[in-house]
Amino acid sequence: MSKLTGWWRNRSSAAKIELYTRWSFHLFVLLESLSVLFGLAPEGLGSVSAALLLPLCAQIALCGVLSSRALDWVLGHRERPVRLAAAVAVLTASLAVAVLVLRSAGALSHAGVAPALVVNTVAFASGSLTLALTRVRHMLCVAPAAGTSAAGVALAVGHPAAEAAGYGVGVFLTCGLLVLACGFSSWLLKTVYELDRARELQAQLAVAEERLRFGRDLHDVMGRNLAVIALKSELAVQLARRERPEAVDQMIEVQRIARESQREVRDVVRGYREADLTVELEGARGVLSAAGMDCRVEVQAGRELRPEVQSALGWVVREATTNVLRHGDARSCVIRLTAPDAGALTLVVENDGAPEVLAGPPGSGLAGLRERLAALDGTLEAGPVDGGRFRLLARIPDGRARGLEARA
């Protein structure tokens, strides 16, 4: 069953909406084809029906191609299909005029054939043309223009005023419905992809901001010390050339500053690599909620945790949050920390919207977490579970997880 549904489940939300929208317009092609066949059925297989069938089929095919290419243009994959849209408009108008003329001349004897053909061809063409328009006010003018044109042509070729008004109202209503549906679909698809790109950009900006912070801290620590080392080394060289004993003192000072710099760099890197569990839990809640997910953080702790345990679990929360944002299509996430007075410490991060089969090889993030937990005799399990969910479970034995004494 997973192989049959994997092609859908493994897609992102934006890709699912795009696929649904495209197949909806393919269904429009089928609906227009059926409407044309049923519209011509009362006329039988006469010469007039045969003459209209070929251009009607061409118009249906062009509408389908225009819808597909217009969606590509909406998503920025190709240029705007102006010529194709003009061809669809001209062919549709020619067919509508021809049907009205044939009906006025008596070539179409059945009363329901002409209205069905005119309304259906103009309405479906209007929906396809709406996808190629850029402004909402232009889209809103399509249905009134089509209805007015249909009524005017019907009057011009000799139809009674009441019948011409019927053509106008029918075309206006059906075109209005399809224009609204197609215009909304285009806007929704564009908006979903913009939100998807914004979420990716937000993740990239967060990484870039962290890199800048680390670079700034490292520059603050090393910049002054390196400048002092350079000056004192230059002074020591000058003193050594003059055979002054103070050169030795300067080099001893350079050695001291170098060791101090090395210690400060270790402190910076240690602070960068350590993660506070409380801060990471609140950060995960804020980031996932900002991404539109329902994030619940449940902490059941009967004791405080040692700093190294908090750091390891903080990294688990940080890596799991990153994976939830980047992979799958999560709508809800639960982070549960259980630290009873006796028993193993467990941290569970579970989210929905996970693909049953992970795409590509596993990354290095989980391997790094296993190494951190292994230093505390802990374990890490990660993988899909029932219901399309992904669970990450970290365990640390009670002996390693036992925390500091409770504060007074």
Ordered DSSP codes for 80-149: --HHHHHHHHHHHHHHHHHHHHHHHHTSS-STTHHHHHHHHHHHHHHHHHHHT---HHHHHTHHHHHHHH
Structure tokens at 121: 């061809």
The pLDDT tens digits of the residues spanning 104-126 come to 888 877 778 888 889 999 999 99
Average pLDDT over residues 175-189: 92
Range with lowest mean pLDDT among 231-235, 292-296, 359-363: 359-363
Average model confidence (pLDDT) for the chain?
82
Range with lowest mean pLDDT among 209-218, 231-240, 265-274: 265-274
Cα–Cα distance measured from residue 96 to residue 385, given in angstroms and rounded to the nearest whole number = 57
Task: Please check the confidence at residue 288 and state whether its pLDDT lies above 50.
Answer: yes
Choose between 202 and 146: higher pLDDT: 146
Place domain 277-401 in its CATH homologous superfamily: Histidine kinase-like ATPase, C-terminal domain (3.30.565.10)
Average pLDDT over residues 384-397: 86
Q: Where in the chain is the domain with CATH 3.30.565.10?
A: 277-401
Average pLDDT over residues 268-297: 75
Would the pTM count as exceeding 0.85? Answer: no
What is the predicted pLDDT for the residue at 226?
79
Cα–Cα distance measured from residue 273 to residue 127, given in angstroms and rounded to the nearest whole number = 56
Nearest alpha-carbon partner for 323 in 391, 264, 256: 391
Range with lowest mean pLDDT among 21-35, 260-274, 299-313: 260-274
Q: Where in the chain is the domain with CATH 1.20.5?
A: 210-273
Q: How many CB atoms lie within 10 A of CB 17?
A: 18
Choose between 59 and 388: higher pLDDT: 59
H or E, element range at 80:
none
What is the predicted pLDDT for the residue at 271?
60
Is residue 387 within 8 Å of 352, Cβ to Cβ?
yes
Q: At residue 214, what are phi and psi to the nearest 5 degrees?
A: -65, -40
What is the predicted pLDDT for the residue at 66?
94
- Domain 210-273 falls under CATH 1.25.40: no
